[in-house]
Structure formats: structure tokens, C-alpha cells
Amino acid sequence: MAGKKTAERFEDRMARLEALVERMESGAVPLEELLKDYETAGGLLAQMEKELEQARQKLTILRTQADGTEREEPLEDEA
């Protein structure tokens, strides 16, 4: 299995992002490392936003019709 990269879970990326933010906010990171961490965090955030958008598009709501039947509708933003 050497050389095989396992897909990172959303939750794992979130934990990495949170750790990077904490590290950057600590004030103890040299500027060069801070910039690397910022770029890494931006990449993680972009991946996570894409994954969330894909999940949102898959979600549907079952609506009960007046006749008792159900139909699927896309999930609408509540914002």
C-alpha cells in the first residue's frame, strides 16, 4: 500500500484548519511560517467549501402533498 494516499475526511480537514488558526493566532509563529500556514489554511477552506456545496446540492426535503403523497424538493437556503 506504499504510495497510496487515503482521502482526507472533511472532519480531519476541519481539525487541521482549526489547529492552523490557533497556531497563527498564538503570535509565536515566525512570519515565513505564518504565511505558509495562511496558504495552507486557504487551500483547506476552499476544499471544504467545495465539499459543502456538493453536499448541499445532494440534499433534498420530502414534502407531503395535500393528497398524502410525498415528493422531493431541493433544500432551499434559509438565509
Task: Name 64's Cβ contacts closer than 8 Å, sequence gap at least 6.
Answer: 70
Would residue 1 count as lying in a domain? no
Provide the H-helix boundaries in the chain. 10-25, 31-58
**Structural domain of residue 52, as residue ranges?**
10-74
Would residue 22 count as lying in a domain? yes
What is the value of pTM for the model shown?
0.66
Mean pLDDT of the chain: 84
3-state SS class at 62: strand
Could you give the number of structural domains in the chain? 1
Would residue 56 count as lying in a domain? yes
Give the pLDDT confidence of 11-29 residue by residue, as tens digits: 999 999 999 999 999 999 9
With a pLDDT cut of 70, the percent of the chain lying above it is 85
